[in-house]
Amino acid sequence: MWRASVLTIFPEMFPGPLGISLAGKALASGAWALDVVDIRNFATDKHRTVDDTPAGGGPGMVMKADVLGRAIDAAATDGRPRLLLSPRGTPLTQSRVEALSRDAGVVLLCGRFEGVDERVIAGRSLEEVSIGDYVLSGGEIAAMALIDACVRLLPGVMGAAASGAEESFTEGLLEYPHYTRPQVWEGRLIPEILTSGDHAKIAAWRRAEAERLTKERRPDLWEAFLRRFRSGSKTG
Ligand SMILES: C[S@@+](CC[C@H](N)C(=O)[O-])C[C@H]1O[C@@H](n2cnc3c(N)ncnc32)[C@H](O)[C@@H]1O
């Protein structure tokens, strides 16, 4: 079973949104498992201290390598990837999410304060992963985003009605626009082709829209898509 182990100083934040809707139902049905590890349990003093002042001075606090090392050693006893949520990390992509969801699960370390002692990153072979170029106050929301993105791809979680096959990024393109009833809303119509019943034309329209949106909004993705297309592979 796919398992997420989350190391945090705020265990009460979990499952939080992951206990609701698709991920929550999948959690309740045993499609995936969640272990939440309170990092403070691995502190040794009576105040359960997990942080200290930065070597060299400066503002804020740093999470201690000795405490984190013990927490990781207790949680990560199998071969799952150990990821540190970090704004410095490799940006998370849909293809990485797909790969992680095919694996046995993840061990996620949530930073707080100014971050974690650098030695624990090397000493426990942590891979730094970012969910975007902005700074959150802690790794927990980032961990939830990563878990949610993985869990929805697990076999059976999305069900027959919904499919990830045509979603944004799956083919390297953003997704085409969606519409539903009413046919006219505030004078705006559903594009005629979508109500034509001609499935081949609908597919062609959707593809053209996906390409148009990607080209307009994400020139970086569009260039990458064209490169793959030219080299004969549309996946990756
Ligand atoms: C206030 S941030 C630390 C920011 C750090 N001092 C820096 O400038 O890079 C505290 C924690 O939030 C998490 N975090 C913040 N932004 C993130 C992002 N974009 N992606 C993943 N984790 C993030 C990390 O775990 C980080 O250790």
The pLDDT tens digits of the residues spanning 144-160 come to 999 999 999 999 999 75
Residue pLDDT, tens place only, 177-212: 999 999 999 999 999 999 999 999 999 999 999 999
pLDDT of residue 118: 98
Ligand 1 pocket, residue 54 CB under 6 Å: no
Any idea which residue has 């370390």 for tokens?
Answer: 109
pLDDT of residue 186: 98
d(CA 72, CA 85): 14
For residue 33, what is the enclosing H or E element? Answer: strand 32-38
Backbone angles phi, psi at 122, to 5 degrees: -75, -45
- Residues 6+ away with beta carbon under 8 Å from 142: 85, 110, 129, 130, 131, 136
Nearest CA to ligand 1 atom 25: 111
Atom of ligand 1 nearest to the CA of 60: 6
Residue pLDDT, tens place only, 71-118: 999 997 899 999 999 999 999 999 999 999 999 999 999 999 999 999
Task: State how far the alpha carbon of 51 is from the alpha carbons of 48, 105, 116, in Å.
Answer: 9, 28, 9
Beta carbons of 36 and 6 less than 8 angstroms apart = yes
pLDDT(36) > 80? yes
- Model confidence, pTM: 0.95
